[in-house]
Structure 1
Amino acid sequence: MANLTPYRTLASLSLFRSRSHTHTLSAGAVHTFYTSCPRLKPTNVGNVGLAAKDTAIGEQAPEPLTLDGIKARRAKAGKLVAPTASYSDSDMFKSPQSFKAPKARRWDHLLSVESKARHPCVLKQAAKHLKKPGLISLGGGLPSAENFPIERLTFRIPKPPHFSEAGAEASGTDVTTGKYDVARGENGGVHDLSIALNYGQSIGSAQLLRWVTEHTELVCRPPYADWRCALTVGSTGALEQALRMFCDRARGDAVLTEEYSFSTALETAAPLGIRVFGVRMDEQGLLPESMDEILSTWDEAARGARKPTVLYTVPSGQNPTGATQGAQRRRDIYAVCQKHDIFIFEDEPYYFLQMQPYTGSDAPGVPPPTSAGEFLGSLIPSLVSMDVDGRVLRMDSFSKVVVPGSRLGWITASEQVVERYIRHAECASQGPSGISQLIMYKLVDESWGHEGYLQWLMNLRLEYTRRRDAILAACEKYLPREVVSWVPPAAGMFLWLKVDHTQHPEGLTRPIIEIEEEIFNSCIEKGILACRGSWFRAEPDLPLSGLFFRVTFAAASEENMGKAIERFGAAVKESFDCAD
């Protein structure tokens, strides 16, 4: 567990730091936030909930981080070599301009008793002493790499822009990583198996943390100074830790989310004793006015829980509805959270799967972005990019855009929140898999770089646009439009089908849940699995008010998607006694 050390002949990582981030802010000072969204006013104890108008004040905005800027900074800093279990944090890799904003608010009043009680792992803290030259460590129980039975790994990856399987086979690159590449200066000489296969810091490896920090600043540009990233064991593991950090069963804490929400998130909260309450939705997802009404009229006795202090939301391609919050909708949601002092868990696994607009099965498509700059400019701003308070914990994941089996993602939040997250991880998961981090580093950093990764995402966007259009064409062909309706998703991998239960022969007398079950069982008999909408209810004890099914266009071939939708249509027609 040595401290992060660059090559001796190269510049120190202090090149990435800015001394300005340590300054003390005077009371009542005016600050400028540089973000792709209209500016929101930071809140404090005295002005919680007041969203200011967009105003241009302060000094001229510094230049945002660019792909060329990242290359220049890396060239100046030199090669990054981080030995086994070396310490690192995002401040080592952020650009100097990122430190010029005010710091985030503190969230001590919202943290759980469990989170406040956590202390640093003494064994990992001892790593700071390993930087002493000539020190012989008899401290940490790090196995010797000579006893690791894996000497070398080689895998083939596609070379941008040829991302298809055929392209990878024809022109792909074979990437090799050996056990002692750093010591021998082989295969890039930055990361190797002796490091990846051993214990590491819970924040993640310095090599991959640098990449996700740069990527986050490039894409999101959080508008406060002390934001940081930490690697996670996927977003589900990150959510479980976040819930335990901010919610306490003994306090009667509660969480708000969309009225139909990710079922695994609901199942994560339930055994923790955390009550979940749903907020009404429309075509753009969560309705801020519904959320404001719920919070403004909250009755603890009637609800059986404290007024919620956390919002869990999936803004892009929401699971299960496929709804995507527009930029103004996100600003309005953030303003409601400011008003009621709500902390936000922003779950964004589908953020980069924002697709081209749907124009119809016979209409020409909208031309996609042709450059990385156009692609980034086309993305709806993230909640964390408008987070002037530091009240957002954003969860990113490699699962939906690279490989889910990596069980690898990262969070972005304020220094205080990330520090509490790491203290939890040190005594739980201990951080993500070292071998997963090594493979991902070799792929997205050493081989593709930031520009190559963005090209991969652009290609993936087109693939999901094509798949979405295929399933929508099948719906238009096979589903009875007088009964089934849908909104073409703008992001993600799910289509939310609304079945008008009032058109059912027994729609006014038969419970909706029974009609749903009948259609579901008929689908299974006909050879299609579609998810029942009732599985995703935030408040399952309430009676169903609508009949929905979730289908995905992520996995099946276009031909099989067509067959599946035809079978689903047959099941609906059979239940509703519709004529072909």
Structure 2
Amino acid sequence: MPPPAAVNIDVGAQGVDDNSPTTTPAYLTVLGVDELRANSVFSGGIAALGLSDAFKSKTNTRKPLSKDFTYRLTLESKSRQPSPLKQAAQYLSREGMISLGGGLPSSAYFPFDNVSVGVPGDNLFSEKDIHEYAQKVTIGMHDMKEGKSAYDLSVALNYGQGSGSPQMVRWVTEHTEIVHNPPYQDWAAVMTVGSTSAFEMCLRSFCNRGDYFIADEYAFCSAIEAGRGLGIEAVGIHMDSEGMIPSHLDEVLSKWDEKERKAPKPFLIYLVPTGQNPTGSTQGTQRRQEIYAIAQKHDLIIIEDEPYYFLQMDKYVQGGSQSNGSSVTPGSHDEFLKSLTPSYLSMDIEGRVIRLDSFSKVIAPGSRCGWLTTSSKICERLMRHNEVTVQAPSGFSQAILFKLLDEHWGHGKYLDWLVHIRKEYSTRRNIMLEACEKYIPREVATWTPPAAGMFLWFKIDSEKHPAYGKKTPREIEHEIFEAVVDQKTLLAKGSWFFAGPEGTDPGVYLRATFAAAEESAMVEGIRRFANALRVTFGLPAQA
């Protein structure tokens, strides 16, 4: 018998038409929108341009406008002109138009008739239930023309705009207003092929070779390498249990010496505020407000990279997954949304935040589909960048995601899914933490239970290592790493995540993830890690 739904709530708030005023909160308005919305918006067909302004609630127009940060753009970004061919696509929506202009292949030569995918039934989200109770959704070649759907393969598999498909732009715009409701009027969303690509695009748009950007002292290594490949180094800011320390950020910027650094004062700051990779730290609301105030003081642009935002968990209570409250299911969507730490985007009154969202951690990394949200002026420049690089996410990905998220689930069921995966990752975190409590020798290793994300960060007391003083911290780190590998378990070295070339923290750290391994294997991996620590530090074997 199918299990009960994860969240039982009525999301059928009354919808609004194009002419009706509303004072309904944005997220309720969006949850109540009906199918006429889709059928009336996407008549443009192939290469239609979809901008966020067409899909926001009417209450958005009552907000103030953002500041103009285009003066921060590089010459490369400022020099990009709209593609004439992309601009010409606007005429395709005119009735009776025969196109002999753009090089859009005929869908008659696409070797597909339809694509079908099995998706979860009604709140049946476990792998077993998805397999047993999967519902098949099908995307046909000409569903739009036949009035069956708001999206089809003839459009998805052809060329599109740098903004992404209007169908997905609409969905992410609505989702952004539901979750973050940016406090200024002229915000917009642009589809990306994932957050790493989006960050690289931001680096090229704001930084020149020889510049610096600001990051946590330990930061996502792919972001750091994206900068190095462009000749842009990171300057690392000290961290504590909540991530970046505001006082050190202010100190570094206030004392920046352009002659000594041979570089202008950096103004781009890269953050993973929730479940930070690699440390697992999460910035609280006050910490985010303090960093935003410093961004205003020093006129910074904040890159808010948030792949783990919805993997926020209740506080871990020592004693095991069955005794703490992390598995409690919210009673409503509103309760779930209010449980989330406010995003930088939600507190950005000036348009200085560029938020990067992705489906990688909440749907699938292989979708290579995400979006960024910022002021429309900056979005326009980034859309121009898309036009001459990635163009847009894969049409297959966009079509499948739209079918799942919009036509099958809707916003309410997607929130149910997010509640489900948060609960699943909470259970995984708790199992790993229980194993740590059981096996890890606390005299040489400590850790802080993460409040979000996928990672557990171990601090190793290198001063208790037999070769301390004779070996460098990096040599001790490598010895421990090799000992863990000898135990047939793999963790990540902390030094792999240094923001600067060398790093200033002499500590030794290792990162584990509770995201992928089966639960029993995860426990065994922690036991092996503990054995490696005991061997390396000359501690007695555990009884």
TM bin, normalised by shorter chain, reads over 0.9
Partner of 2:228: 270
Q: Shift of the alpha carbon at 1:76?
A: 6.5
Within the alignment, does 1:15 sit opposite 2:13 as a pair?
no
8 A contact 1:156–1:174 mirrored in 2: yes
CA distance, structure 2, for counterparts of residue 454 and residue 137 of structure 1: 41
Partner of 1:81: 42
Identity level (%): 48
Within the alignment, does 1:304 sit opposite 2:262 as a pair?
yes
8 A contact 2:440–2:526 mirrored in 1: yes
Q: How does 1:321-332 map to 2 (within 5 A)?
A: 321-332=279-290
Closer/same/farther in 2, CA of residues 542 and 16 from structure 1, 3 Å limit: farther
Q: Secondary structure at the match of 2:145?
A: helix
Match of 2:138 among 152, 173, 176: 176
Partner of 1:102: 64
Match of 2:239 among 257, 278, 281: 281
Within the alignment, does 1:206 sit opposite 2:209 as a pair?
no
8 A contact 2:456–2:512 mirrored in 1: yes
Q: How does 1:220-235 map to 2 (within 5 A)?
A: 220-235=180-195
Within the alignment, does 1:242 sit opposite 2:202 as a pair?
yes
CA distance, structure 2, for counterparts of residue 289 and residue 417 of structure 1: 29
Query: Which AA in structure 2 matches 1:368?
Result: T
8 A contact 1:262–1:320 mirrored in 2: yes
Q: Deviations over 1:235-273 (max 9, x none)?
A: 011011011011111xx3210000000000001000111
Q: Shift of the alpha carbon at 1:301?
A: 2.3
Within the alignment, does 1:151 sit opposite 2:128 as a pair?
no
Q: Deviations over 1:441-488 (max 9, x none)?
A: 011111000000000000000000000001001111111001100000
CA distance, structure 1, for counterparts of residue 68 and residue 412 of structure 2: 35
8 A contact 2:492–2:511 mirrored in 1: yes
Closer/same/farther in 2, CA of residues 77 and 86 from structure 1, 3 Å limit: closer
Partner of 2:323: 364
CA distance, structure 2, for counterparts of residue 335 and residue 417 of structure 1: 21
CA distance, structure 2, for counterparts of residue 298 and residue 557 of structure 1: 47
Partner of 1:90: 52
CA distance, structure 2, for counterparts of residue 259 and residue 76 of structure 1: 46
Q: Secondary structure at the match of 1:256?
A: strand
Q: Shift of the alpha carbon at 1:74?
A: 5.9
8 A contact 1:202–1:432 mirrored in 2: no
8 A contact 2:39–2:150 mirrored in 1: no
Query: Which AA in structure 2 matches 1:65?
Result: A
Closer/same/farther in 2, CA of residues 533 and 16 from structure 1, 3 Å limit: farther
Q: Shift of the alpha carbon at 1:370?
A: 2.6
Match of 1:450 among 396, 411, 414: 411
Once the two structures are overlaid, the 10-residue window that deviates more, 231-240 or 123-132, is 123-132
8 A contact 2:48–2:93 mirrored in 1: no
Q: Shift of the alpha carbon at 1:343?
A: 0.4
Q: Shift of the alpha carbon at 1:376?
A: 0.4
CA distance, structure 2, for counterparts of residue 446 and residue 128 of structure 1: 25
CA distance, structure 2, for counterparts of residue 310 and residue 17 of structure 1: 41
**Which TM-score applies when normalising by structure 1?**
0.87
Once the two structures are overlaid, the 10-residue window that deviates more, 285-294 or 499-508, is 499-508
Q: Secondary structure at the match of 1:177?
A: strand
For structure 1, the 5+ residue unaligned runs are 1-12, 19-60
Q: Shift of the alpha carbon at 1:180?
A: 1.1
Q: Secondary structure at the match of 1:183?
A: coil
CA distance, structure 2, for counterparts of residue 555 and residue 16 of structure 1: 48
The total of aligned residue pairs comes to 522
Match of 2:75 among 109, 113, 128: 113
Q: Shift of the alpha carbon at 1:128?
A: 2.0
Partner of 2:374: 413
Q: Deviations over 1:501-560 (max 9, x none)?
A: 111122233200001111111111110010000000001324551000010000001100
Match of 2:454 among 493, 499, 509: 493
Closer/same/farther in 2, CA of residues 86 and 483 from structure 1, 3 Å limit: same
CA distance, structure 1, for counterparts of residue 534 and residue 38 of structure 2: 65
Query: Which AA in structure 2 matches 1:209?
Result: V
Query: Which AA in structure 2 matches 1:144?
Result: S
Q: How does 1:330-341 map to 2 (within 5 A)?
A: 330-341=288-299
Q: Shift of the alpha carbon at 1:373?
A: 1.2
Q: Deviations over 1:402-455 (max 9, x none)?
A: 010000000000001100000011011111111100000011111000000000
Q: Shift of the alpha carbon at 1:71?
A: 2.0
Within the alignment, does 1:255 sit opposite 2:213 as a pair?
yes
Within the alignment, does 1:142 sit opposite 2:104 as a pair?
yes
Q: Shift of the alpha carbon at 1:346?
A: 0.3
Q: How does 1:334-353 map to 2 (within 5 A)?
A: 334-353=292-311
Q: Shift of the alpha carbon at 1:286?
A: 0.5
